[in-house]
Structure 1
Amino acid sequence: MTAATVPTSTKFDLGPARALLCRECGNETPLAPEYACLECFGPLEVAYDFGKIRREDIEAGPRSIWRYRGLLPVPSTVEQHPNTDPGGTRLVEADRLAKALGLRKVWVKDDTGNPTHSFKDRVVGVALAAARELGFKVLACPSTGNLANAVAAAAARAGWKSVVLVPSSLERAKILMSAVYDGALIAVDGNYDDVNRLAQELAAEHEDWAFVNVNVRPYYAEGSKTLGYEVAEQLGWRLPDQVVVPVASGSQLTKVDKAFRELGQLDLVEATPYRVFGAQATGCSPVSTAYKSGHDVIRPVRPDTIARSLAIGAPADGPYVLDTVRRTNGAIEDVTDEEVVEGIKLLARTEGIFAETAGGVTVATAKKLVETGQIDPDGETVLLITGDGLKTLDALGDTVGPRATVPPSAEAVLKALG
């Protein structure tokens, strides 16, 4: 939508959201379907006027992200519309993993339990609620897979049409998990960055298409805050010492940090110091490379990694990830594909959680951070596991399988067991 057609913010009920704020120049824009500053073309994010938020009011809410609706850019009536009700996933006390990693205390935020088995259900839930209020008619996205699943499912639940663009090389499981909802799934010959550019072109041509991570991105991104809110609430309304977050576009990491800061500002938690760590795959590590080089500019790369859900070579929030990590005295590391697979297997055998490749990146990065002395081994640490391993079975290849194939006899089984 052009500047001339942007309605004033009084038209929309987006809860506590006050305006859109440029992350570069600080200019405020009325709430609208906009994602770039009209003054400097910088990215926009939601600014709020929060009312009085009490723990007991949150705790009395539904077991989903909507218990935090007073902190999100969604209508107060959001629960009255069909949605997938994401969130409310478990925080697992991971003592065996902690021992294996060399950390005193580890919690795993297991977001595999969301409706389409990844954290993307959170951001899409918020995006759909905002898109409905902003007058869109079609839910759309470019995706590396998990977002495609979430958009297709949310649109089906809401009775909306969907248009989902994915790289043609995407894992077959993720393609099937999007196609089954019978929306318009289009495979594009190219990588995610090619698909994203195509989505931006289409968003400009179709003003009633809500590309969740393009023209409604400021609202969509706020959904990741609910990870931070849930972690703090599940820890008994306190912040962890350190958190390790996988980095694709980088939005999730910055929004978890935003959530922690908001909770402190609203006196919902004590504003204790915390450190934020980013995790990337070496085959797509532009943010890690910039961090290690001491640079502020992210140089785009062509992804080459099994961690396809993190394979964004030109991450939109990369510079803000650097800002967050440096401000909180964290770090950013990257790990090889072999380390990713070992991370998946380590989490599975120690805690019974099967993560996709992004989870393997998080676990392997935590291990590397310990080994390199970048993370405090005595600090209480939260690892964000953002997707289910059933989505990326091919990544394991021949590294797992039956210990033996035997005839149907007890003797043969016992012999195989040694």
Structure 2
Amino acid sequence: MIMIDTMKKQVEDMEIRWAKQLYREHKNISWQYGIDLTPPAINISSGRKELGLLNHGTKTLSISSHLIQTEAWDIVVEVLKHEMAHQYVSEFYDNADGHGKYFKKACKKLGVHPAFVAGSKDFHKTLQEFKGSLPPDAQKMLRKVEKLMALGQSSKEAEAQAASRKANYLLNKYNLQRINAHDDNPDIKYLTICHKKKRIESIQRAILSILRDYYYVNCITSDTYNAQDDTVYRCIVLIGKKEALIVAEYVYHFLLDTGRTLWQSFKKKNNAKRGDKVSFDMGFIAGIEHNHKLMFEDSIMENSNSKGNIDTTLPVKATKALMTQHHEEICKEKSRLFPKLSTVRYGRHQASSGAFKEGFNNGKNTHIKKGVSNRGTGISGFLEA
């Protein structure tokens, strides 16, 4: 009996903490989107079907405990914003409709993700729409990229470099075809990466610049709440089409793990100090960027088909122009998620230092390939998920 009472109290204590965090989220969302909503009473409900509910009479906003325990905090926040949109209609439009035109206006004002605008009871369907699905041509492209990454494990530098270049060529070719299609609904998604740390390292920020410039995503550093341990951590948010997010997340982990491994080797070999780490990391990323720039150095990017003939050419100027256009589309989703942003700064380093030069040489000799020792399944794993 005592054990049951103790467990019940622990659950109640955790629910109080969740309610406090939701209250903070409500306040922050109101500030982010420049609206003045009355802070409601926050209730953690026990229901599984009703994920969120606004009681206009008692001015109470309820969020499901089951939702908090089983889904990422991003999803919880989207449900919260949906209920805040109802509150907005109640306070500014005299509760004019349920999920009608005023509610849709409120959702746009609050940046509610399109998947969470409808009042559907089918949460599984809503969640799938939020996460998105890969078109068949995207799956085909990603499988080809996975095979090329496997070839990138070759011990021969020329073969590894050629495989890396072809993988990037396929990514560019596919993305340019999608951009040229002038899709009225680009279906931009976002993905959160959290290492459960209180700060973002300089190497992580530098990797984001590579992803932004070469992998068709935009990158933001932000905060996210972990409901299981009641802690707010710093996180990375990638924004782009689903297939781009899959590749960018893989590349992010590959470069982060490779960079850390190379730093430990350099540190042990040279008895390097802690202050050398930022210089080494920045050198490593500069070397990675050097490799990627080589792919745009020629006036034409070429790829051979299975018969050995030139398949397609991608003019560099046109490629860069279309990439800029693509980033503009992504910025719309970025503005929805983060209407107010602070400037990102990288760590300081000395380009002339030995640590930077060694990092740069390591980066030049690193090619994106399959198989990171302390990571999971790779791109094919994402395709099967």
TM normalised by structure 1 equals 0.27
**Greater Rg over alpha carbons, structure:** 2
Structure with the larger helix share = 2
**TM-score, with length taken from structure 2:** 0.29
